[in-house]
Amino acid sequence: MKSLNHARIPHATLFQKVFKARAVAANKSLYLLNVSMPLHLLQVSWNFALDRIATLIKQDRDANFIAKNAAGTTVNRWISTGMLAASASSTETAYLTAS
């Protein structure tokens, strides 16, 4: 998957398109098919979205997990991924955090 090139897509334009599409989506998640203009957002089920997220997280963990440091001490580090949780987070973020 390509990463979002912020220089090409102004944040305001991106967020306006996503939020406009979300108003229509109701209980569906939106999947960004590509990052070129115009945006191609696909309505998908939460099961699809969560399965996709889980797959990408597992791939990242498998590629970047550090079980032992150079001295051989068990450290169980996974430094390529973090988690954001806050009271100001969206419902979707809270759901993913709890899941």
Residue range 46-64: average pLDDT? 89
Name the more confident of 67 and 30: 67
Distance CA(52)–CA(4), nearest Å, equals: 17
Name the more confident of 38 and 12: 38
What would the pLDDT profile of 32-53 be if each residue is shown by its tens digit? Answer: 877 777 777 888 888 888 888 8
> Do 52 and 46 touch, CB atoms closer than 8 A?
no
> Do 41 and 32 touch, CB atoms closer than 8 A?
yes
Distance CA(14)–CA(24), nearest Å, equals: 16
